């Protein structure tokens, strides 16, 4: 299997995510706490959609609902036209922290979803090796997590998220723990990875420039309880390089998002 083939499996036309009037409330000792007021948005097949919002507004909660890890209080999420009612095999998740199993090698960590889903392990192992090479970890298959840098651990997490060929990839601030240089490097690698796979991506981030650089669309959420305050198309040409960040349109889009994010957080007067 070639590296391109490792992420080039054709997707069904309906492989997309749709939030339909999703609400979430928590019951606490003092009453009901609304976390998500009402969110409706859709990610087209093969698109890259980022979600921005103030800290604690519910961005990560939305990903948990999409992953089937948390049921909504009202509304629904559909994947490929089917209502999400629990964890699904066609979803991959990349967390803020790599969450690698410390007692397993890189290869064994990448193979975790394949084992848990009962996939053919011979095919999965071959695919895992290709993915490990694709994310720049060739030669580290037998290394343990403590022997890797933070960026290398995230690369292993990315390979793990793709090993079972998900239609949708959910990414929850995966580069938050990295320094600025490694964040840019990982963003470039992610774009290369995504351009080969064309999976549907929902990407939660606090980084305005990161969201504009990566995305086809950026959705801005309000303070909790979360609601969509703006959904902005990012018409910058692809493929994108670091020079993209020097384009006047890039600066204008970042400024627009910054102002909307300030307004969403109740800090409009400081924008």
Write out pLDDT tens, residues 44-98.
Answer: 999 999 999 988 888 999 999 999 999 999 999 999 889 999 988 888 888 888 8
Q: Are residues 59 and 150 in the same domain?
A: no
Q: Are residues 26 and 130 in the same domain?
A: no
Write out pLDDT tens, residues 213-240.
Answer: 999 999 999 998 999 999 999 999 999 9
The lowest-confidence range among 10-14, 54-58, 247-251 is 10-14
Q: Are residues 177 and 86 in the same domain?
A: yes
Picking from 106, 131, 165, the residue at the C-terminal end of a domain is 165
Tell me the pTM: 0.85
Write out pLDDT tens, residues 118-158.
Answer: 889 999 999 999 889 888 899 999 999 999 988 889 889 88
To which residue do tokens 């064994």 refer?
A: 108
Write out pLDDT tens, residues 192-202.
Answer: 878 887 889 99
- Nearest residue to 33 via CA among 205, 267, 264, 226: 226
Which pLDDT value is given to residue 267? Answer: 55
Bridge pairing between strands 48-52 and 31-43: unpaired
Domain count, the chain: 2
Answer whether 40's CB lies under 8 Å from 22's CB.
Answer: yes
């Amino acid at each position: 299997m070639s590296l391109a083939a490792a992420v080039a499996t054709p997707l069904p036309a309906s492989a997309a995510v749709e939030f339909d009037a999703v609400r979430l409330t928590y019951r606490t000792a003092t009453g009901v706490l609304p976390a998500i007021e009402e969110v409706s948005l859709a990610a087209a097949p093969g698109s890259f959609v980022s979600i921005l919002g103030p800290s604690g507004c519910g961005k990560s909660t939305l990903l948990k609902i999409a992953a089937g890890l948390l049921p909504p209080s009202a509304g629904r999420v559909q994947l490929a036209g089917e209502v999400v009612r629990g964890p699904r095999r066609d979803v991959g998740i990349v967390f803020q922290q790599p969450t690698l199993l410390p007692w397993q090698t890189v290869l064994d960590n990448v193979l975790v979803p394949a084992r848990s889903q009962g996939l053919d392990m011979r095919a999965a192992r071959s695919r895992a090796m290709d993915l490990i090479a694709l994310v720049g970890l060739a030669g580290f298959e037998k290394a343990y997590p403590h022997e890797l840098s933070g960026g290398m651990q995230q690369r292993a997490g990315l390979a793990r998220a793709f090993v079972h060929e998900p239609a949708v990839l959910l990414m929850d601030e995966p580069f938050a723990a990295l320094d600025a240089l490694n964040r840019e490097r990982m963003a470039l690698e992610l774009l290369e990875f995504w351009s080969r796979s064309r999976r549907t991506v929902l990407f939660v981030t606090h980084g305005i420039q990161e969201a504009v650089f990566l995305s086809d669309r950026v959705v801005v959420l309000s303070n909790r309880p979360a609601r969509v305050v703006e959904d902005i198309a990012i018409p910058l040409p692809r493929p994108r390089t670091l020079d993209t960040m020097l384009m006047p349109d890039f600066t204008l889009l970042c400024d627009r998002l910054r102002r909307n994010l300030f307004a969403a957080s109740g800090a409009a007067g400081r924008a």
